[in-house]
Structure 1
Amino acid sequence: MKKGLLWIGIIGIIISNIGNYLYYQSQQLEHPIFLKHFYSHSFYQNDEYSFPFFYLTNKANPKKIKYIVADNVAAYPNNQTTQDLVSNTSDIHPVDEYNHQYLLSDYISFSYDSIPFDEDGTWSFQEISVYFTDGDYITTDIGKVVFKDKMENDNSEAIDFTISESNSDGLGKFKGYTTESLQIEKIETLLDEKLKNDIDLRINGQKVSLSNNEEIGSANLKEDDLIEIQWKIDSLSNAFEVELYLIGTTETGKPFVTPTFVSSQPTIDQKKVNELIKEGDKQ
């Protein structure tokens, strides 16, 4: 009788361990999952700029980026060392931590000389191939990244932005003053269609649309008037670093284009991680 109970207990432990192992395996990623990124940036000649790319990777075997390839252009992490190239787990500094995964980020650097700008002065990509330090690689949708050859004579000093604020709730604002009397006619980005449903934008309380074809209306400002632009991002699990171009005409009839930035790092919880894992399993 006692031996029977003992065997029942042993079998129960084995079944439990098998169940735990199968559950653990079901929570492991076959490959890292990259979040969606929406980035735009204007480049001067000889300019170099870095963007953070966020991805989920298993705690048990975290992967680090060796380099990426986008539209035949290779780009590398900032401050990459020889140790980074030979070690897969050195210097793991997670942005966040979950039950079985880390959220990591690597700043990937792009230089003006390496960018194959199109005839319209832009270059964009939505898919990248990622090569990891352990020899693994994946090709994945990244969202959308757009670069632009810097516009000349844009009279960017028409508005002087002095204060910028943002928080983890997707809310932010920037304030500035006009340097002369002017009218803001519209706001554009290089990602208008991608962002028109993600960003709620207001100028001095007036809601505006991110559209190349829609004018703001009456946004007339005198010299030294305060201008406050408020923004709210709905997709908190995405990464944003987007240039906004305020376009208009000064009182003297001179056109201007003043750039400013909307920036937000992704915020995800365990529930969102589970959703991303399920979505990845279906692909």
Structure 2
Amino acid sequence: MKKHWPWIFSLLLIASWGGNVWYYESQKLEKPIYLEHYYEISTDLLSHMSIYFITNRDSEREPYQFRVNDDIVLNVAQVRTRDERGRLQLREAAVMPVSDQIFRNLENSLRFEQATVYYSDGLVDTVSLGEIIVHPRSQSEYDLEFSFSSSSSNGTGRWGSTVQEDITVASVTHSFPELLSDSIDILVNGKSYVDTTAFPLTLNKGDPLGGSYIFQLDNEDVRRFHAYQLMITMKDEQGHIINVQYINEQPQLYDEHLRSYVRLRKGGEREL
């Protein structure tokens, strides 16, 4: 039996080496994988937008520009690493418009789902980004005295203001309700935004107008891995926007989920 041990050891060594090679190759990305982004913002926030992607840790390929069309071009101001696992990295590209001329004159909202990406090594690729909506700069029909606004990394936030004239809040909505209506709870002056008996809400000059939100997704919910910039809008009876608040949620895609997320995006089995 002892004379067979060298062969057995060699076979185990080859199997182990083969397993390591398979694991390494299973994480190899030919090009970056972009997360899904659900953004609804005004033009003045476009220069504060981040785009997230997964790439290999040893890759020197970085995006330097996203081109939506001939008029909308976003330069990458900075790329930083958010998390990593094995050979994979989650990276964040902070972008800003090459020119804001088109946005200063924007009359109607823009919507785009993909962009052409230009990389440092010469690669040009068209990628899906999710759904991004850009509105003209918000023009409130009413004068509100701003008081405070705050948010937390646990998906909660609050804000407050004082109305400067009599107003009526007819409705409260948030971005992408078809995707997120079961995950957001919004209170306005202590009333739930889905409480049909609470609206219209009539306020007199000098009354407070404030609210809070909770935006949370279960640990097993793959929507946690998307990036969000959501608008909470309060409208009057004529549909004019009275107030706008924003929810900014970075993807909750941590190191232990990177390999599983890549498998999921490649069409493999879910392992989250």
The two structures have a TM-score, normalised by structure 2, of 0.79
Out of 139, 144, 168, which is 2:153 matched to?
168
CA contact (8 A) 2:37 2:51 kept: yes
The aligned residue for residue 125 of structure 2 is: 138
Q: Distance in 1 between matches of 2:247 and 2:202?
A: 23
Q: For 1:243-258, what aligned pairs fall within 5 Å after superposition? A: 243-248=231-236, 257-258=242-243
CA contact (8 A) 1:164 1:173 kept: yes
**Cα distance change on mapping 1:43 and 1:64 into 2, 3 Å:** same
Q: Distance in 2 between matches of 1:174 and 1:262?
A: 11
Gaps of 5+ in 2: 218-222
- Which stretch of the first structure deviates more once superposed, 255-264 or 139-148? 255-264
Q: 3-state DSSP class of the match of 1:94? A: strand
The aligned residue for residue 111 of structure 2 is: 124
Q: For 1:69-84, what aligned pairs fall within 5 Å after superposition? A: 69-72=67-70, 73-78=72-77
CA contact (8 A) 1:48 1:112 kept: no
How far the C-alpha of 1:276 sits from its partner, in A, is 2.1
The aligned residue for residue 143 of structure 2 is: 157
CA contact (8 A) 2:65 2:73 kept: yes
How far the C-alpha of 1:198 sits from its partner, in A, is 4.5
Out of 212, 217, 224, which is 1:230 matched to?
212
Identity among equivalent positions (%) equals 20
**Cα distance change on mapping 1:42 and 1:242 into 2, 3 Å:** same
Q: 3-state DSSP class of the match of 2:244? A: strand
The aligned residue for residue 35 of structure 2 is: 35
Q: Does 2:166 correspond to 1:181?
A: yes
**Cα distance change on mapping 1:256 and 1:121 into 2, 3 Å:** closer
**Cα distance change on mapping 1:8 and 1:195 into 2, 3 Å:** closer
The aligned residue for residue 66 of structure 1 is: 64
How far the C-alpha of 1:62 sits from its partner, in A, is 5.1
Q: Does 2:48 correspond to 1:50?
A: yes
The aligned residue for residue 220 of structure 2 is: none
CA contact (8 A) 2:103 2:136 kept: no
1:239-276 alpha-carbon deviations (Å, 9 max, x no partner): 22233332227xxx9x6632222222221234542342
**Cα distance change on mapping 1:122 and 1:239 into 2, 3 Å:** same
Count of residue correspondences: 258
Out of 205, 230, 239, which is 2:227 matched to?
239
Q: Distance in 2 between matches of 1:131 and 1:215?
A: 51
CA RMSD after TM alignment: 3.2
The two structures have a TM-score, normalised by structure 1, of 0.76
* Code of the aligned partner of 2:100: Y
The aligned residue for residue 89 of structure 1 is: none
Q: Distance in 1 between matches of 2:30 and 2:166?
A: 58
CA contact (8 A) 1:184 1:216 kept: no
